[in-house]
Structure 1
Amino acid sequence: MTDNWGFYERRSDTEELRVLINVGYKASAPLPGRSALLSVTVNLYPVRERNRSKRDFIRQLERLETQLEQRLKTTADGIYIGRINAATRLEFYYYVRAEMLDKANFEQWIKTAWPFRAEHYVKPDPEWDLYRYLLPDALEELFMHNAQMIYALLHKGDDIKRPRHVYHWLLFRQDEDRRQAESALRGLGYRIEREKEGSPDDSFPYPLVISKFEDVRLDTVNERVRELYRLISGSGGRYDGWGSVLKLTGLGRLRQQMRKMMDATQAYIRRSSSTRR
Structure 2
Amino acid sequence: MTENWNVFERITERERMSLFLNTGLKQDGPAKDFGRLLSITVNLYRAMGNQAIPAVYEQVYRLEDRLESLMSRQSDQNDDRKGIYAGRIMTGTKVELFFYVKEGIEYKRGLDSVIQSFDQFNFTYAERPDTNWSFYMDYLFPTPLEQLYMRNARLFYGLRQNGYKLDVVRPVHHVLYFEGRESLDVCKQKAIAHGFKIERTEAGNEKHKLVVSKRVLLDMSVLNGTVRELFELAQAHGGNYDGWGTNTSRRFSVRLRSALRNPRIVTAVFAIIVLAAATWELLNEGF
Into which bin does the TM-score normalised by the smaller protein fall? 0.7 to 0.9
Paired with 1:258 and 1:34, the residues of 2 have a C-alpha distance of: 48
Letter in 2 for 1:229: F
Q: Classify 1:202/1:238 alpha carbon distance in 2 versus 1 (closer, same or farther; 3 Å).
A: farther
Give the counterpart of 1:206 among 200, 205, 208. 208
Give the structure 2 partner of residue 66 of structure 1. 65
Structure 2 residue ranges without an equivalent (≥5): 74-79, 269-287
Give the structure 2 partner of residue 57 of structure 1. 56
Is contact 1:76-1:101 (8 Å) kept?
Answer: no
Alpha-carbon RMSD across the aligned residues, in angstroms, is 2.2
**Greater mean deviation of Cα atoms: 210-219 or 150-159:** 150-159
Tell me by how many angstroms 1:113 deviates.
4.5
Tell me by how many angstroms 1:176 deviates.
1.2
Residues 1:230 and 2:232 are matched in the alignment:
yes
Is contact 1:6-1:21 (8 Å) kept?
Answer: yes
Tell me by how many angstroms 1:103 deviates.
2.5
Letter in 2 for 1:172: F
Tell me by how many angstroms 1:247 deviates.
4.2
Query: Could you report, residue by residue, the CA deviation over 1:175-232 in whole angstroms, capped at 9, with x for unpaired residues?
Result: 11111111111111111113xx77x8764x2111110001121101110011001111
Structure 1 residue ranges without an equivalent (≥5): 270-277
Paired with 2:102 and 2:198, the residues of 1 have a C-alpha distance of: 55
Residues 1:87 and 2:92 are matched in the alignment:
yes
Is contact 2:34-2:100 (8 Å) kept?
Answer: yes
Paired with 2:117 and 2:260, the residues of 1 have a C-alpha distance of: 52
Tell me by how many angstroms 1:109 deviates.
3.7
Is contact 1:10-1:16 (8 Å) kept?
Answer: yes
Q: Classify 1:262/1:182 alpha carbon distance in 2 versus 1 (closer, same or farther; 3 Å).
A: same
Paired with 2:48 and 2:120, the residues of 1 have a C-alpha distance of: 13
Is contact 1:18-1:85 (8 Å) kept?
Answer: yes
Is contact 1:73-1:79 (8 Å) kept?
Answer: yes
Alignment size in residue pairs: 261
Paired with 2:170 and 2:249, the residues of 1 have a C-alpha distance of: 8
Paired with 2:3 and 2:229, the residues of 1 have a C-alpha distance of: 31
Paired with 1:116 and 1:58, the residues of 2 have a C-alpha distance of: 11
Letter in 1 for 2:169: P
Paired with 1:225 and 1:153, the residues of 2 have a C-alpha distance of: 18
Tell me by how many angstroms 1:31 deviates.
0.4
The equivalences for 1:34-183 within 5 A come to 34-52=34-52, 54=54, 56-74=55-73, 76-132=81-137, 133-183=139-189
Give the structure 1 partner of residue 284 of structure 2. none
3-state SS of paired residue (1:220): helix
Letter in 2 for 1:161: D
Is contact 2:82-2:107 (8 Å) kept?
Answer: no
Is contact 1:76-1:100 (8 Å) kept?
Answer: no
**Greater mean deviation of Cα atoms: 87-96 or 44-53:** 44-53
Paired with 2:177 and 2:226, the residues of 1 have a C-alpha distance of: 16
Q: Classify 1:102/1:147 alpha carbon distance in 2 versus 1 (closer, same or farther; 3 Å).
A: closer
* TM-score, normalised with respect to structure 1: 0.86
Is contact 2:47-2:120 (8 Å) kept?
Answer: no
Is contact 2:18-2:89 (8 Å) kept?
Answer: yes
Is contact 2:234-2:241 (8 Å) kept?
Answer: yes
Q: Classify 1:44/1:160 alpha carbon distance in 2 versus 1 (closer, same or farther; 3 Å).
A: farther
Give the structure 2 partner of residue 272 of structure 1. none
* TM-score, normalised with respect to structure 2: 0.84
Paired with 1:223 and 1:243, the residues of 2 have a C-alpha distance of: 15
3-state SS of paired residue (1:145): helix
Paired with 1:106 and 1:87, the residues of 2 have a C-alpha distance of: 24
Bigger-Rg structure (1/2): 2
